[in-house]
Structure 1
Amino acid sequence: MQKTELDRLAIGMMVLFCTIWGVQQVAIKLASTGISPVWQAGLRSIGATVVVLLWAHLRGVRLGERDGTLVPGVLAGLLFAAEFALIFLGLEYTTASRGVIFLYTAPFFVALGAVWLLPQEHMRRAQWVGMALAFGGILVLFGEHLFMPTDRAWIGDLMIMLAAVFWAATTLTVKASALARVSAEKTLLYQLAVSALVLPLLSVALGEPGVFAPTPLVWASLFFQTFIVAGMSYLGWFWLVRQYPATRLSSFSFLTPVMGVLAGGLLLGEAMTPAVFGALFLVGAGIWVANRPR
């Protein structure tokens, strides 16, 4: 039976997961010092696929049933692969702090897409206000580097914002198809398994060298992304969604960009400019306003 309120366990897990998801961009930057970006994304998906398969086997989750999910599942996987290729490539140009802020505009693209694709989900006034705040923050952050001809951060900013669009498209594909009626493990596995096939091929097509400077820090960063982020934290999130109201849980999502910006500053020494803090405040406030309980 699903609980109606969050207890200390749920709150603690959400704070932990938001911290993990915020630190993910830092881990990508650290691993990229020894592994090419798209190849790194492919290794992450391969490892996480194994984790989810083992989890599903232990829990007795049936993955092979014919349930009309093959086509939307492959589509979701291709969108997922595009999202992560753009994230990993974009972080070659921009900072982890900026990247996490741009990436977490995805919920607002979901809300916009739902207006046309999911007519049963109406935009509330609070969601429109939250969207306006968030995109105000994006304008502040994007404008900081747009008119500096020697600064290429805007290229990465654009790539990660496009990744947010693909993330939203993946979410809408799941919501509008048979994937919404199957287990979370099967839905996640489609995304991981398809991207595990596509991303290494894309890396080869781009001529990436692959693993070129392996160090303990590089491997530790990849392990964190693969087993902690893409494996355990996602599975933990799905468990929370089954136990507690999703709307209550989603109100914590504003913490992820906050944790990401702090991690970028503390672990990578990234510049904490007024534009970064201004954008962080606006995006975080927008997410909170859009997701607060009615």
Structure 2
Amino acid sequence: MERKSHMDLAGAVALTVFAVVLGLNQVVIKLSNGGFQPIFMAGLRSAFAFLVMLAWMRYRGVHHGIRRDLLFPGLVLGLLFTFEFVCLYLALDYTTVSRASIIFYSMPVWLTLVAHFLLPGEQMRAPRALGLALAMAGVIWVLAKPYEGAEASLFGDLLALGAALGWGGIALFLRLHPVSQERPEVQLLWQLGVSMLLLFALAPLFGPLTRDLAAIHWAGLTFQVLAVASFGYLFWFMLLKIYPASGVASFSFLSPVCGVALGWLVLGEEIGPEIIGGLCLVAVGLVLINRKPRIPR
């Protein structure tokens, strides 16, 4: 696989498509919550994606990576992964896709803030600090004005924030621990396997496992398993191997944009001033945070 020094048209198209898939995933989760209890559905997603990953790794000749030395980091990654998706799936039961997308995809903001204090060489310069301030202001704007309707609540918004923090925790742990040197398939398999067990154990605490289950909900689950939880993540890792990380990360602003647009287009969600304003601030903030600093000559 040829490594490229800059983002080309093929990479830009691939990242745009991936952002649309991520935005659509929020819509699919919300629709599928009508048939599955959220935590049970998250467990099913992890279980089926775990089986898909095992089959894929066997086909590709990749060792599963279930080793004693990976037990601790694997459990940590699995716990963080579980926390992330408990929060996200419940959030989409309590709030709108538009609001959840803006808050959830603000993850790089919180990662940048923590990295400034914990990771050597990650101290913020002026552009990143400005981006951080703008993005945080956007999230606060959304949180400060809950949508006045039955489809959203501050509780759901805070759950989306918890999901963003869980996702950021995974990224931070991978920056700090040697497990980051393992193949992406191994890292993902541990997260799926541990979360599968924990989510199934937690699911009965949140009520009946199914709701008004229909074929469309199974279709939604299939999309989550194949397009996001297994091959979607592998596609992302593949792009990171081909293109510079800064170039790939710079497209992160598209995910909340797609989430808001698809929430409006598919679900008919109302987009108020706080959604538009918060989205703009978060998007601009993410661009500044991911902007590659110029090296003085």
Deviations 1:49-95 (A, max 9, x none): 11222222222222236483320121011011011001111111110
What do you get for the CA RMSD once the two structures are aligned?
A: 1.8
Distance 1:248 1:66, change over 3 A: same
1:84 aligns with 2:85: yes
Q: What is the identity, as a one-letter code, of the residue corresponding to 1:283?
A: V
Question: Contact conserved, 2:113 with 2:132, CA < 8 A, in 1?
Answer: no
After TM superposition, the structure 1 stretch with the greater mean CA deviation from structure 2, 229-238 or 57-66, is 57-66
* Superposed CA offset, 1:146-168 (max 9, x none): 8x798861110011101111111
1:215–1:66 distance in 2 versus 1, CA, 3 Å: closer
Query: Secondary structure, in 3 states, of the residue corresponding to 1:69?
Result: helix
Partner of 1:174: 174
- Paired with 2:21 and 2:46, the residues of 1 have a C-alpha distance of 17
Deviation at 1:142, TM superposition (A): 1.1
Paired with 2:86 and 2:61, the residues of 1 have a C-alpha distance of 32
Aligned to 1:200: 200
Q: Residue 179 of structure 1: CA displacement?
A: 1.4
**AA paired with 2:283?**
G
Residue 182 of structure 1: CA displacement?
0.8
Moved more, 226-235 or 55-64: 55-64
Residues 203-243 of structure 1: CA deviation (Å, up to 9, x unaligned): 1233x211232212111111111111112211111111111
Q: Show the counterpart of 1:215.
A: 214
Residue 162 of structure 2 aligns with which residue?
162
TM-score (norm 1): 0.94
Cα distance in 1, alignment partners of residues 283 and 289 from structure 2: 10
> Counterparts in 2 of 1:14-25, with a 5 A limit?
14-25=15-26
Deviates more, 1:266-275 or 1:62-71: 62-71
Report 1:129-148 matches (<5 A): 129-145=130-146
Total equivalences in the alignment? 292
> How many Å apart are 1:127 and its aligned residue?
1.7
Work out the CA distance in 1 between the residues paired with 2:39 and 2:66: 31
Q: In the superposition, relative to structure 1, how do residues 274 and 152 fare at CA in structure 2: closer, same or farther (>3 Å)?
A: closer
In the TM superposition, what are the counterparts of 1:1-294 in structure 2 within 5 Å? 1-64=2-65, 66=67, 68-145=69-146, 153-206=153-206, 208-294=207-293
Give the TM-score taking structure 2 as reference length: 0.93
Aligned equivalents of 2:89, 2:52: Cα separation in 1: 21
Alignment deviations for residues 244-293 of structure 1 (CA, whole Å, 9 cap, x no partner): 11111110110000000000000001001111011110001110111123
Are the structure 2 counterparts of residues 67 and 151 from structure 1 closer, same or farther at C-alpha, using a change threshold of 3 Å? Answer: closer
Alpha-carbon contact 2:96-2:152 (below 8 Å) kept? no
The answer to whether the 8 Å contact 1:90/1:156 transfers is yes
Moved over 6 A (4+): 148-151
- Give the residue type in structure 1 aligned to 2:279: L
Q: CA deviation at 1:192?
A: 1.1
Q: Structure 2 unaligned segments of length 5 or more: list them.
A: none
Q: Is the 8 A contact 2:81 2:170 kept in 1?
A: yes
Counterpart CA distance in 2 for 1:139 and 1:4 is: 36
Distance 1:6 1:45 in 2: 32
Over 3 Å counting, the alpha-carbon distance change for 1:271 and 1:150 in structure 2 is: closer
> Is this contact kept in 2: 1:117–1:176, CA < 8 A?
no
Q: Distance in 1 between matches of 2:10 and 2:193?
A: 31
Deviations 1:177-207 (A, max 9, x none): 121111111111111111111011111233x
